[in-house]
Structure formats: C-alpha cells, structure tokens
C-alpha cells in the first residue's frame, strides 16, 4: 500500500473534529484522518497533547497536514510544530484553510497519493 499524507483536524470541539474526520473519511478511506478536538478533559478548547499525539498517529512517513478551526487552535498547532525535531517538522505542514472545505480537499488529494506539498 502506498503511504499517504495524513491529516489532523484540530478543533475546539471534540464533536466538530470527529464530524470532520467522519465526513472526510467517506471520500478518503485510505488516509489516516485524526480528530484532535477539545481540551484534555474533552471540554471546549484545544489540547497541545491531543494535537501532538495526533501528528504522530497521522504520520505514515509521507507527512502530515494539520488543519485548525479557529485562531487559537492554529496557535496550538504551530506550538506543536515548534516542539518537533527538525526531521519531524520537515514532514508536517500547519495550514490555514477553511476547516470543512479545506479538510475535504486535502483529504481527497491525499487519497489520490498526492505528496505533502500538493496536499
């Protein structure tokens, strides 16, 4: 099986992240789609630990795209990026795109085998 770029959906809401993964999974069943939503106790907010774990889980070797719902989720994702090793950081892209539309487009691109830059 071809390694595909993984996608992490970072959201302030557990349910929103899970919903984005469920929707994207309908069109990208071969892609590692990870929900990193809510705080550590599943409240509203973001979790550094969930995002960091999600990046590790999503990476099959082809890289990871991280998509965030709101500004502070983007900041959490960027903080995770800063904490990665140079080798890991080279395989991760934190992108600022519309959450649902961008997430679906990235997932479909990954499903087709597109590389990290294209996804």
Show which residues are catalytic: 12
CA distances to 42, 63, 95 from 110, in Å: 28, 10, 14
Q: 39-52 burial, b if ≥16 CB within 10 A, otherwise e?
A: eeeeeebbbeebbb
């Amino acid at each position: 099986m071809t390694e595909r770029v993984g996608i992490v959906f970072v959201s302030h809401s557990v349910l929103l992240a899970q919903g984005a993964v469920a929707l994207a999974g309908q069109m990208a069943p071969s892609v590692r789609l990870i929900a990193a939503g809510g705080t550590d106790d599943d409240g509203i907010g973001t979790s550094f630990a969930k995002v960091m774990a999600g990046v590790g889980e999503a990476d099959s070797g082809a890289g990871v795209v991280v998509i965030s719902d709101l500004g502070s989720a983007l900041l959490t994702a960027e903080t995770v990026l800063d904490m990665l090793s140079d080798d890991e950081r080279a395989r991760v892209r934190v992108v600022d795109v519309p959450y649902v539309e961008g997430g679906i487009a990235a997932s479909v691109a990954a499903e087709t085998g597109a590389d990290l830059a294209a996804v």
